[in-house]
Amino acid sequence: QVTLKESGPGMLQPSKTLSLTCSFSGFSLSTSGMVVSWIRQPSGKSLEWLAAIDWDGDKYYNPSLKSRLTVSKDTSNTQVFLKITSVDTADTATYYCALSIPFAYWGQGTLVTVSS
Amino acid sequence: DVLMTQTPVSLPVSLGGQVSISCRSSQSLVHSDGNTYLHWYLQKPGQSPQLLIYRVSNRFSGVPDRFSGSGSGTDFTLKISRVEPEDLGVYYCLQSTHFPYTFGAGTKLELK
């Protein structure tokens, strides 16, 4: 059974760095073809794809945010991380991680609020 | 970026009825490998999105055959027949042919 779960700080101040973790089970990110993506959704709005990392360690970023994003994975291939630098109120959203493309399995999401 | 335009924004429906949602892209979604990477999701209130249809017309595991997808190039449609209460929520289309992947703005299916 595939499960994903996001975790994050809940709230942070503008200009800080947001660090998110996606912990998963039921698959191995070292398996050929596997990809984990990060997607976010401001309250009441649509979805925005942010970044992805694949089984080979290749990374993909949304150009609109690329300079601020870093996606990585742990050596045991059970967690994926996302860092967003210099956050501001526009980064307030629910952040999801999802498996494969199309995004067949999603985590429950973690709400991040950027506020002073 | 590829702009995905969904219509309508809101779609009132009676239980048991049939509805269609349109998704149009600003450029062709036919990939160089010949596949078309257009997918449909449903987000129920308070939940994460769930995959319904992948690559235009393929139902994901466990998705009832009341849901069907069609289309080609830049014009795609999701049809839902015999609408049930659990079908209510916001429907999104997604293209993964071109980077960055982009979603439509959503269509809210609600009871009349």
Cβ of residue B50 closer than 8 Å to a chain A Cβ: yes
**Tens digits of per-residue pLDDT, A7-48?**
999 999 999 999 999 999 999 898 999 999 999 999 999 999
Of the candidates B42, B32, B96, which has an alpha carbon nearest to the alpha carbon of residue B64? B42
Instruction: Give the pairing type, strands A11-12 and A110-114.
Output: parallel
pLDDT, position A70:
98
Measured between beta carbons, the chain B residues lying within 8 angstroms of A36 are none
pLDDT, position A77:
81
**Alpha-carbon distance B109 to nearest alpha carbon in chain A (angstroms):** 15
B64 in Cβ contact with B52 (< 8 Å)? no
Contact A62 B100 (CB under 8 A): yes
CB-nearest partner of A109 from B48, B92, B105:
B48
CB-nearest partner of A107 from B48, B92, B102:
B48
A60 in Cβ contact with A70 (< 8 Å)? no
**Tens digits of per-residue pLDDT, B36-71?**
999 999 999 999 999 999 999 999 999 999 999 999
Measured between beta carbons, the chain B residues lying within 8 angstroms of A106 are 48-50
Interface test mutation site (partner B, options A5, A46, A58, A101, max chain B beta carbons within 10 A): A46
Q: Pull the structure tokens for residue B92.
A: 């999104």
Measured between beta carbons, the chain A residues lying within 8 angstroms of B6 are none
Of the candidates A57, B16, B20, A82, which has an alpha carbon nearest to the alpha carbon of residue B7? B20
Length of chain B in terms of residues written: 112
Our CA angle for B36, B39, B44, nearest 5°, is 175
Contact A49 B48 (CB under 8 A): no
Contact B94 A46 (CB under 8 A): no
For residue A75, name the pLDDT band (cuts at 50, 70, 90). Answer: confident
Measured between beta carbons, the chain B residues lying within 8 angstroms of A47 are 49, 92, 94, 103
**Tens digits of per-residue pLDDT, B11-43?**
999 999 999 999 999 999 999 999 999 999 999
Cβ of residue B32 closer than 8 Å to a chain A Cβ: no
Half-sphere exposure of B45 (CA within 13 A, CB side): 6
Measured between beta carbons, the chain B residues lying within 8 angstroms of A108 are 48
